[in-house]
Amino acid sequence: MSSSSFEEELRQQVEQERLINQVTTLIRQSLELPVILETAVQEVRKLLKADRLIIYQFNIAAPACPVDFDQLTTAVPITVPQLDGITYESRAHDRIPSVLHRIEDGWQLPATELRNKYQSGQSCSITDTSNSANTSVYFLPLGSDSVRSELVTPILVQGNLWGLLIAHQCEHPRQWLTQDCACLERLADNLAIAIHQASLYAELQQQKATLEQQVIERTQHLRDALYAAQSADQAKSEFLATMSHELRTPLTCVIGMAATLLRQTPETPLPPEKQKAYLQIIRDRGEHLLLLINDMLELSRLETGRTILDIREFSLFDLASQTLRQLQDQAQKKQIMLFLKCTNGANGDKAPRFLADPRRVQQILLNLLSNAVKFTPDGGTVTLRVWQTADIATLQVEDTGIGIPEDQRPLLFQKFQQLDPSHRRNYEGTGLGLALTKRLVELHDGSISVTSKVGEGSTFTVQLPSQVRSALDYVRSQEQPLPVLHQRILLIESDEEMAHVVCDLLNPAEYQVVWMTETDLAKQNFQILQPHAVIIAGSMLLEFWSWLVQEATALPPLLVISLGDGDHHRADLSLMGLSTDILVQPISQPDAFIDRVASLITRE
């Protein structure tokens, strides 16, 4: 070889090395895979002076095909096929036909031999396809497409066959030089590194986007939690302000009336009528405070799941009538007319009896009716509708009151809410009534809804399904005539004040009450007394009952005196199986208490 030829070859190698480095630099300027591949096919084609350069990629997700699921008669797995195809192309001029985006689901034969060869990293070339006798050494995608010469180099990303870098000479045959093959292999290696880096970058960007989304969601959660905490703090402040008013106002009145009564002297006595009026005010205010405290305790028990339904059979019509009578005085003060309408067999003796907790159903009605009376202007009307089927009862309270704006209805059943702050000056209340009502309805697996129009009134509709009762519930639900006088009652109560209240109520009703402060004393005298009923403090119940079932020849009815609503005693009473009842302190309705005692004795 002459020195000039050697120098020319060396110059070409240096120039090719420079161009390879230049192309490699261009490829590495981006981390976006489409940009990298598009740049690669353009620059590599120019470097090799080929007519066409393509990237043939393996395992491309096929385009999704529409599936008519209505026509499928059997369940079929939905799979996304993996195809092979040409994803990038560069042509020297437009006369060369394009093969871009051609996709096929396999290799030309012989596929296995070619794939194994390319997986090993070998390159293949052919000078003239028209004169070649062995097509297994090259790869022509989807026909020749005027390909006269071909040079193929695999792209191996982390040792896996990612695709092929293919150079075509379309217009005339070409003898591929060793440096051409080496150049394409080096560029394929650099391209594989760039593809791997781009994949890592894409994964990093995806992780970054995921983390950013998580940060956004976490920030939103924290913001929501902060808002909830601020709302809770505001609700607490409003609750304390409301409770301060609701408790202090009647207490101030009670203290004032009591002080006035105490200040009277024999020389300057108050007229009996005024004394009676003052005592009535004290009683009314005391009952208001008791109702308020009971509502708070009831709501607390409902929210903590410590409430048990006392299922009984009763008449909805009788319960509705009794509830309306309790509100008659309150309605008369505002000249409000109260109406009761019963349909679908819910009226009179023909009415089907209903299974539920009558005390809590009455509490639902009282809350709805008292709200209706409270927010109905003077001279308005409040209507209670009751209709019943075998499985469900519907209670509807309609008023001609101030109505509820639509935007404030979502707050309607929340605790401590009076929808319009100005109402606090005009209408007393803590905002517990409807929240408690909703939870009592849900305790029965029922539903409550409301329709309203501002200035015209509101309608609350409650639907309660009939409850399932046990054998004990059936025994307790049977109503018997009242009462039999001169019955002997054993009272076991360590609280002297409570015992005096019970004795003062039952003795005038001609019951013989024997009071004992300890269960041991009651056990010693039980056989002598032979009581027709036992009234016992809840704290002494289990000890006395354990002795009673072992020693007594006859088991009397029990009336348990309980703090709160007595739910914590119902499980104990359900195991006893006889006539039992619960008396909740304090005794606010003496007549009802006497009736309950008489009813309990007659069930013996």
pLDDT > 60? residue 213: yes
- Confidence (pLDDT) at 136: 46
Alpha-carbon separation of residue 239 from 233, 234, 415 (angstroms): 10, 8, 9
Confidence of residue 340 (pLDDT cuts 50, 70, 90): very high
Alpha-carbon separation of residue 355 from 314, 387, 391 (angstroms): 7, 14, 9
Of 566 and 326, the one with more pLDDT? 326
Confidence of residue 9 (pLDDT cuts 50, 70, 90): low
Q: Is the distance from CB of 526 to CB of 489 less than 8 angstroms?
A: no
Q: Which of 43-52, 327-336, 484-493 is predicted least confidently?
A: 484-493
Q: Which of 88-102, 224-238, 244-258, 343-357 is predicted least confidently?
A: 343-357
Distance separating alpha carbons of residues 72 and 531, to the nearest angstrom: 78
- Confidence (pLDDT) at 122: 87
Residues sharing a CB contact under 8 Å with residue 458, sequence separation 6 or more, in sequence order: 372, 375, 398, 399, 401, 403, 404, 450, 451, 452
Q: Which tokens belong to 254?
A: 């009670």
Helical H segments across 404-557, by residue range? 423-426, 433-443, 471-477, 496-506, 519-529, 541-551
Q: What average pLDDT is seen over the chain?
A: 78
Q: Which tokens belong to 547?
A: 């002795």
pLDDT > 70? residue 134: no
- Tell me the range of 139-143, 267-271, 307-311 where mean pLDDT is highest: 267-271
Residues sharing a CB contact under 8 Å with residue 335, sequence separation 6 or more, in sequence order: 378, 379
Average pLDDT of the residues in 277-304: 78
First-last CA distance in the chain:
131
Helical H segments across 77-177, by residue range? 111-119
Dihedral sign of CA atoms 355, 360, 362, 367 in order? negative
State pTM to two decimals.
Answer: 0.46
Distance separating alpha carbons of residues 438 and 418, to the nearest angstrom: 16
- Confidence (pLDDT) at 478: 45
pLDDT per position as a tens digit, 15-30? 777 777 777 777 777 7
For residue 312, the one-letter residue type is R
Q: Which of 113-117, 177-181, 379-383, 534-538 is predicted least confidently?
A: 113-117
pLDDT per position as a tens digit, 454-512? 888 999 999 999 887 654 444 444 444 333 445 788 898 888 888 888 888 888 787 88
Distance separating alpha carbons of residues 342 and 409, to the nearest angstrom: 28
